[in-house]
């Protein structure tokens, strides 16, 4: 795979921030056993990774704006290009020493996500995609799973956090889906969930109540792997609505019907 200059910039930034997260993850594993616990340390890790991403991406593309989970929106001189960044997706996993988390970087051009990088530094799995150029995992071309029947499918979901989101609705949806599929999973890192749909590990993924930094990079990756990715009303407002459903065309259609009827 020949990477564009843009993807090279994104990958270099992700790898640099990944080194910091790996070092801090090692610390968390130690702090896990201490009474103080790793809570504050984790938010510091988050901020450290975000700072590196901000510095590296600004250096490479001065003028581009930012939307970052910790810093919020930073306007750039260039009004059309914006980096949408989650420096640590899967914070709860990170905090508990579970090696399932990722750095997520997307480039959004005039409101459309056009490039995405999702990097899990523990497994060294680097997912990249650029609009019209395909999706790759460590240079291997990705394609969503080809299963046709929901009964054969492993479906990933997101569970609303305590006190947030519509838990009653989620429970209804889960009950409906669980009866129809081979298995349901919850990883706790939405960017990876979409990347895993792209890699054919999950046949589908749905979640509500997400933010654009959770979704923008994974969205490009899943679409470039041939997936259909929409909001839960079946439209294209994934980033604005923060709701998502992804899978191959048949599975996407079948799952959205189950969820709508729930």
The footprint of ligand IPD (CB under 6 A) covers 86, 88-91, 158, 188-190, 207, 210, 214
Strand residue runs (E) in 131-223: 135-137, 140-141, 154-157, 183-185, 204-207
Closest-approach residue to Ca ion (CB): 89
Closest-approach residue to ligand IPD (CB): 190
Residue 90 touches which of ligand IPD, Ca ion, none (Cβ within 5-8 Å per kind) = ligand IPD
Contact of 215 with 238, CB cutoff 8 Å? yes
Of 103, 120, 117, which Cα lies nearest the Cα of 49? 103
Query: At closest approach, how far in Å is the CB of 158 from Ca ion?
Result: 10
**C-alpha–C-alpha distance, residues 205 and 189, integer Å:** 11
Give counts: helices (H), strands (E), the chain. 8, 13
Contact of 136 with 1, CB cutoff 8 Å? yes
Q: Which is nearer to ligand IPD, 25 or 147 (CB)?
A: 25
Query: At closest approach, how far in Å is the CB of 12 from Ca ion?
Result: 20
Residue 173 touches which of Ca ion, ligand IPD, none (Cβ within 5-8 Å per kind) = none
Q: Which is nearer to ligand IPD, 95 or 147 (CB)?
A: 95
Contacting Ca ion within 67-96 (CB under 5 A): 69, 86, 88-89
* Selected binder of Ca ion within 24, 214, 224, 231 (CB under 5 A): 214
Neighbours of 25 (CB within 10 A): 23
Where along the sequence are the contacts to Ca ion (CB under 5 A)? Answer: 69, 86, 88-89, 214
């Amino acid at each position: 795979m020949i990477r564009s200059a843009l993807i090279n910039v994104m990958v270099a930034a992700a790898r640099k921030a990944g080194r910091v997260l790996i070092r801090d993850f090692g610390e968390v594993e130690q702090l896990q056993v201490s009474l103080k616990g790793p809570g504050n340390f984790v938010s510091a890790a988050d901020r450290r990774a975000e700072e590196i991403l901000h510095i590296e991406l600004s250096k490479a593309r001065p003028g581009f704006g930012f939307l970052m989970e910790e810093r919020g929106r930073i306007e750039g001189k260039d009004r059309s290009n914006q980096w949408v960044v989650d420096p640590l997706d899967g914070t709860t996993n990170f905090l508990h020493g579970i090696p399932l988390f990722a750095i997520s970087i997307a480039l959004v051009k005039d409101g459309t996500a056009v490039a995405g990088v999702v990097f899990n530094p523990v497994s060294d799995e680097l997912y990249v995609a650029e609009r019209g150029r395909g999706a790759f995992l460590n240079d291997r071309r990705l394609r969503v799973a080809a299963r046709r029947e929901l009964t054969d499918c492993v479906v990933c979901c997101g569970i609303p956090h305590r006190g947030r989101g519509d838990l009653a609705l989620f429970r209804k949806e889960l009950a409906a889906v669980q009866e129809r599929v081979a298995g349901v999973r919850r990883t706790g890192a939405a960017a990876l969930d979409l990347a895993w749909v792209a890699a054919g590990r999950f046949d589908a993924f749905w979640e509500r109540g997400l933010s654009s930094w959770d979704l923008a990079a994974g969205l490009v990756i899943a679409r470039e792997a041939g997936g259909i990715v929409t909001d839960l009303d079946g439209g294209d407002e994934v980033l604005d609505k923060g709701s998502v459903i992804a899978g191959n065309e048949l599975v996407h259609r079948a799952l959205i019907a189950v969820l709508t009827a729930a």
